């Protein structure tokens, strides 16, 4: 299966986790950007106000050429970042049915219910997700998620 790992990362934590996952999935990698260099406070403000950023995917991607996509997003202000929500709202119709979400966060809460709310943007419910705390991102955790994704074929 041809797989794309796409991510947004303000600090590099989500980037590192997604790149490790892409290694185990033998996946292509693309970066989701909103063309703004954000501080933590501006990220939270964007999240709370719901301001819709302009998005850019680098390199350009033909989503229809992939069988599976994994989207990596940070948790901002107790919810998946607004950049991910805007991406899903804008591109859901082009995405394959097999879609996974990987979130990284500093908080200790279980964000599963909030991650599952991303399904409202999708044609079909996401295939699965991994929500992992910044200090708990290990090769073993990422490798286990990759194995779960591969087993869902």
Query: Can you give the CATH number for the domain in which 23 is found?
Result: 3.40.50.360
pLDDT tens readout for residues 71-98: 999 987 777 878 888 889 889 999 999 9
Q: Tokens standing for 113? A: 């219910």
pTM equals 0.89
Handedness of CA 117, 119, 125, 129 (dihedral sign): negative
Q: Tokens standing for 136? A: 């708990």
| Contact present, 107 and 132 (Cβ < 8 Å) | no
Q: Which residue has the higher pLDDT, 19 or 46?
A: 19
Which residues touch 45 (CB under 8 Å, ≥6 apart)? none
Position 50 confidence tier, pLDDT thresholds 50, 70, 90: low
Which residues pair with residue 82 across a beta bridge? Answer: none
Q: What is the pLDDT of residue 153?
A: 60
24-30: average pLDDT: 97
Domain that holds residue 28: 3-151
Q: What is the pLDDT of residue 52?
A: 61
Q: Which residue has the higher pLDDT, 37 or 26?
A: 26
- Total domains in the fold of the chain: 1
| Contact present, 117 and 88 (Cβ < 8 Å) | no
Q: Above pLDDT 70, what percent of the chain?
A: 92
């Amino acid at each position: 299966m041809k797989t794309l790992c796409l991510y947004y990362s303000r600090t590099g934590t989500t980037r590192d986790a997604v790149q490790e996952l892409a290694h185990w999935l033998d996946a292509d990698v693309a970066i989701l950007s909103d063309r703004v260099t954000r501080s933590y406070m501006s990220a939270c403000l964007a999240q709370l106000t719901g301001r819709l950023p302009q998005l850019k995917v680098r390199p350009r991607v033909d989503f229809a050429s992939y069988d599976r996509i994994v989207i990596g997003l940070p948790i901002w202000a107790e919810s998946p970042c607004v950049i991910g929500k805007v991406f899903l709202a804008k591109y859901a119709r082009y995405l394959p049915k097999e879609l996974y979400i990987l979130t990284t966060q500093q908080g200790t809460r279980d964000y599963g219910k909030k991650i599952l709310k991303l399904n409202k943007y999708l044609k079909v419910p996401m295939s699965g997700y991994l929500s992992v705390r910044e200090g708990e991102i290990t090769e073993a955790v990422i490798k286990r998620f990759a194995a779960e994704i591969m087993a869902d074929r």
